[in-house]
Amino acid sequence: MRPSSSPSDRLLGGLSGAVDVDAELDDGALLQAMLDVEAALARAGADHGLLPATAAEEIVGQCRAERYDPVALGRAADAAGNPVVPLVRELTARVAEPARPWVHHGATSQDVLDTALVLVAVRAGAPLLRHVAAAGDAAAALAEAHRGTPQLARTLGQQAAPTTFGLTAAQWLLGLAQARARLEQACAALPAQLGGAVGTLAALGPAGPAVAERLAAHLGLAAPPLPWHTRRQPLLDLAAALGALVAATGTVAVDVGLLAQTEVGEVAEGGAGRGGSSAMPHKRNPVDAVLVTAAARRGPGLVATLFTAAVQEHQRATGGWHAEWEPLLDLLHLAGGASARCARMLAGLRVFPDRMRANLDAAGGMVLAEAVAARLAPALGRGAAHDLVTRAAAEPDFRAALLADSAVRAHLGEADVDEALDPRGWLGSAGPFVDRALAVHRAATP
């Protein structure tokens, strides 16, 4: 059985990728992108009279991936250190004799592979960004529906003070929105590459810069002011954006996983038939949260590899450029899967407001210690009020300890204490903050 070239179709790849994103990352997609660059190069040269139009059309006609064997090209790539050399050789052999001198005219292997990887990133970015948008929509729906749902906030892993689940979801929403905007910007700025042997385009003569601009136009890419053979900022911007996106989805996933713990039980993943255990029939595991978290653990290493590889020497790197190819594709793969799973997780998330309130109440009012101290501070001073409430919080029954303290009773009656211990009264600007996040989301949504 011949293994599939699509990451999603591999035994483990389906756990980290998304089918529609991976369809733009497989061997066939990369091969077609390389051929698209060769076709655009021929057209751009013909546009400026550097080769006959008939030769350009002959070359374009042979730039179809199904006519080539990516496995054979991959094996042949070992001799040259990249797959462009054997591809150009095969493409040259396929075109009519008069067109052969014009195949790959003025370019070097890095021009083709850099531009092809940029094309792959842009093409994979389209479905990837749709998944991010869907995740944002789902987070926005949760934020709006639970704008006023009280929830226990947790800081440094400990019970802290009241918040709302709407604000929790709004934080997820804003993280996704910012990551989406950064990725959109990075993809839109990705440039074509055409520099020739050493970045001077000497083989194209005075028309070189114009041909480079025309190449970019044919491919729908940005035209850089200079070739960027060893100046890898465009890919670093993309890597940073993808890493930030994976981190944003990971933050959501970690929160969902923690909130879904049996002892917490404030949310649960939806989806019939998902989350089963091979050993424990009673379990319902938060599978999407687990897999998105896994992607978030892997993403930073890939980003680090791309940044490390970007320190490149002279006019062409000896290994740094080669080190980028697979980590970049892997990072796109992970980001696609994390985004798709985050969207599914949030769209099907089951929220339990009664359990959120029960967890608040189970704290015995101590999570409102800040609220009590704030009521006492005008009379006692901030430090004295803080110390008094700290002592009361050390007692088994926080409310009873407050009411038994003469300094508290001198300034707060029983109704005042109960009012201070109502979590709905200590939500601050949670509601307006939710509204702000929703406004950002709506402004970014076509």
Q: Which residues are catalytic?
A: 277, 316
For the CA atoms of 393, 421, 404, 385, what is the dihedral angle to 10 degrees? 60
Please name which of 363, 268, 432 lies closest in space to residue 371, comparing C-alpha atoms: 363
Report how many helices (DSSP H) and strands (DSSP E) the chain contains, helices first: 18, 4
Rg (CA), the chain: 29
C-alpha 402/C-alpha 419 separation (Å) is 13
The Cα 111–Cα 104 span in angstroms is 10
Question: How many residues are present in the chain?
Answer: 446
Looking up tokens 């009020």 gives: 385
Among 298, 294, 291, CA closest to 343: 291
CA dist., res. 347 & res. 301, Å (int): 29
Dist CA 325 CA 90 (whole Å): 22
Max CA pair span of the chain: 102
* CA–CA gap between residue 344 and residue 329 (Å, rounded): 23
Between β-strands 158-164 and 267-268, what pairing exists: parallel, antiparallel or unpaired?
A: unpaired
CA 431/CA 29 separation, integer angstroms: 46
d(CA 50, CA 211): 9
Residue whose entry in the numeric block shows the structure tokens 């062409």: 316
Q: Which amino acid is at 261?
A: Q
At residue 146, what are phi and psi to the nearest 5 degrees? -120, 30
The helix (run of H) or strand (run of E) holding residue 69 is none
